[in-house]
Structures are given as structure tokens and as C-alpha cells.
Structure 1
């Protein structure tokens, strides 16, 4: 991880390390795949899990439920993995404001970008660590979504200001 943190601020590896630090997670927090008997299918699912945080890092989406649902929508449009589609049902558990943001901002972003982007599951992230994250996004056909943390913070500040008046 120290090597990744030493990379230029626009490098994929640095973006990944910064995202892990900001979110308080590590690559070691991913559970191993269970209940899949076919060795090849188990490998694909394990690789998917290992790559999931890179998807977060290049999109900037946080691990809060709202960010996860947006990323799962992107993943479903991009990979067509059934479990990612099923994960989108979590949108029902979002608060009304979160659900509104999902349907007006993040679902359109997720489906547009997921469908047009190259298959992210085929990216060898280990070979991309020193590349510019902007260059990789452009090559894959992924536009970075609006910063969810910034939007949430601005909405909290707006509500706080309204209460103060």
C-alpha cells in the first residue's frame, strides 16, 4: 500500500489507495467466494469481488448504501451479472432523498456508462496502477459521476441553514 500511496495523485494506484483510506477499508476486507463448485465460475466471482473496490475508486462512489446501489447499477449494466442486478433492489431501503438522487442522478449515470463502457471485469488492474486515472476512464468509456459525498454534504448544510432561519 505504501507504494500505491507514493504514486502521483492522478495515478490509478494512488486513486485506489486514497479511496481505501477515505472509506476506511482495505483489500483484505473481501471475503472469499463460497458455495460455487465450478472452479472457473468461482474464480470469476472472486476476481469480481477483488476488482469491486477499483470500480469504486475510479468512479469515486463511497461505500455508503446509496453509493453501493449506484455502483451495483453500473456493474449490472456493464457485466450483466445477476447478483449485481439483484443488489439494486436495495434502492427500496434508501431514504426518500437518497432514492430521489439515485433515480435522478446516479441511475441514469450508471446505466449510460455501464452500457457504453468496456467490460470492467476484464481490466487487469494490477497493470494499470501507474496510469492516469483520467486516461483509463477515457479508454474504458466511463465518465466520473457527480461526487455523492459533496452532494450529501451540501444538502445537509442547506437543511441546517433552513433550520437556522
Structure 2
């Protein structure tokens, strides 16, 4: 007489919340155990694994060894799988060139992607999964573009709101939210979106802190992002401190560096801010909620320094004329 057959079916969803069709990844593991009534009561176990019809390659599969002549198919539109040597070369080359020219956003983006794996982007992904708001962002996958943000509406909001502050900052700095390049070199499709979200949220942090798009302001914000996200590219960007003017370098070590470290470590994970839902929020209230204190106005400090230098030059010129 045979004993009854026992089976267990486990389905692992990629997200802990509802997922849209096409983004669901499911793995079904079925184990069938059969016991026979022999004197030794031997036990035989058979395991099998199948995949849901909507399954797409995962990062574990694409992480297998391959060569440039045997490259696996992309995991999402625009994806370029890289070998370890290619990834290391890309990280080193883009990192060196972006230090030489910190205004090359494309090189900074490539360096960020090449150095984010295998650990750091997954840490950021887990931080989003641990937050209810982060999970909603992963489910909805909003994009920060001028069309989706409705900039004319944001410009009409009070300057005390997040949306009004953001629009005013874009206009003052002459920046557009449509300049962020698409992620290409991160294998996991959902982690690629996490990197895209971080990249497109960067200007909101500029607006929230008031830091301008100048080398000194970018270095200060990258220091904050490094303390908050741990992405290696933001840490490498701190090497640009050496390229600052002596007065700017001293100001970073005395003012903006300590501010960035203190606020980046103590504040909430900024990747979990659903910016699109905060447009009418009081900007001071959002800073308090996140635990971010606004640093001294760098643009105002730089303006006063320029005016002081101009006055000194005028004084020296007047003294030269009087002496002649």
C-alpha cells in the first residue's frame, strides 16, 4: 500500500505589492515526495522548476559568464549586457574623463551605472521595497519629465511649495528635466528603473537644498547623496574637491562637507520621496519630514565674493590712477 503523494507549490512575486502585467516575474517550485512501504522505508524526492509565461531573464541568469562574441539578449529596451572586464573598463574610463570635465553628464551617468553593481543598486532597491511609498513608486514607475510634471502649473504654484520651488530653481539655473539619459548598463530591469529614478530626482534635491548647478554646488550635493545612497559614483565625485579653487575647497571642508555628511546620514532615504505627489506640499515641511536642513545659500555667498573682488579691483585701479 502506497502512502499519499504530497506536493507544495510556492510562487515568489518580484514585488511585495500588486504588479502590472508584463512586469510580473514568478517562479514555481514543485516538490513531489513518494514513500514506499518497504522494510527500510526509503524516501525518494524529485524536484522540478517551471516559470510563468510572462517570465523574463533575471540578473542571476545574465550574471553568467559570457564574452563579447557570446553576449546574452538584453533584459529591457536599450539594455547592454557587459562582461566584468567591460564593466571595469567603462567605470575607470568614464570616471577619469568625468573628473576632467565634470559637466559631462553622460560620462557621470555611465560611471554611476558601471559602479552600482553588484551590491549598491540592490541596496537602494531593498530600501524602496522596505518603504510603502517606495513600493508604490516601483509599482507606478513614474518618470520625471517636463510633460509629466506640467511645468506651467508648477510655475503658478506659490514659491513656498515643493513644486513652486522646483520650477523656480529650474528657471533660475536654466535646467530642463528632459536631459537625463536612459539607463543601459544595469542588468536587472527593476534595478535599472531605481537608477533612473535616482537620476531624475537629482534636480529635486538641488531645489530642496538650494544648491546651484556650479562645480562647488554639485560636489556638495554629491557628498550628500553619497552619505544617503552609498552609490560609489557619488563618492568618486568627491575627488573633484581637488579641482575647486582654494576658497571653494576651504568652504567645502568647513561648511558644505560637514553639512552633507550630517544630513545625508540622518535623513530618510530620499529615493522614497514620491515627488509627483509632493508638489503642493510646503517645502519647509518636507525638509522637516525628511530631516534635511537647508545649507547656507551658496549662490548668495558666491555673489558677495564676486562683489567684494570687484570692489577691491576698483579700489586698486583708483589708487593706481591717483598715484600716476
The TM tier, using the shorter chain, reads over 0.9
The whole-number CA distance in structure 2 between the counterparts of 1:36 and 1:79 is 17
Q: Distance in 2 between matches of 1:27 and 1:83?
A: 21
1:50-65 correspondence to structure 2 within 5 Å: 50-65=200-215
Runs of 4+ aligned residues of structure 1 deviating over 6 Å after TM superposition are: none
Is residue 269 of structure 2 the alignment partner of residue 119 of structure 1? Answer: yes
Structure 1 residue runs of 5 or longer lacking an equivalent are none
| Distance across 2 between alignment mates of 1:29 and 1:21 | 15
Structure number with greater Rg is: 2
Identify the residue that residue 172 of structure 2 maps to in structure 1.
22
Instruction: Tell me the distance in 2 between the aligned counterparts of 1:104 and 1:161.
Output: 26
1:100 to 2:250 alignment: yes
Alignment of 1:1-165 (within 5 A): 1-165=151-315
Deviation of 1:111 after TM superposition, in Å, equals: 0.6
| Secondary structure class of the residue paired with 1:46 | helix
Cα deviations by residue, 1:89-110 (Å, 9 ceiling, x for unpaired)? 1111111111111111110111
For 1:110-136, what per-residue CA distance to the aligned partner results, in whole angstroms no more than 9, with x for missing partners? 111111111111111011111000000
More strand by share: 2
Deviations for 1:29-86, whole angstroms, at most 9, x for unmatched residues? Answer: 1111121121122111100001000000000001101100000000111111111111
In the aligned structure 2, how far is the partner of 1:104 from the partner of 1:30?
31
* SS, match of residue 36 in structure 1: coil
CA RMSD of aligned residues (A): 0.9
Q: Which structure has greater helix proportion?
A: 1
Residue matched to 2:116: none
| 1:162 Cα offset (Å) | 2.1
- Residue aligned with 2:182, SS: coil
CA–CA distance in structure 2, aligned partners of residues 63 and 137 of structure 1: 20
**Aligned-partner SS, 2:163:** helix
Cα deviation for residue 164 of structure 1 reads 2.5
Q: 1 or 2 for the larger relative contact order (CA 8 Å, sep ≥6)? A: 1
Given the two structures, how large is their TM-score scaled by the length of structure 1? 0.96
Equivalences, count: 165
Q: TM-score, normalised by structure 2?
A: 0.50
In 2, the alpha carbon distance for the partners of 1:105 and 1:158 equals 20
Q: Which secondary structure state, in structure 2, belongs to the residue aligned with residue 54 of structure 1? A: helix
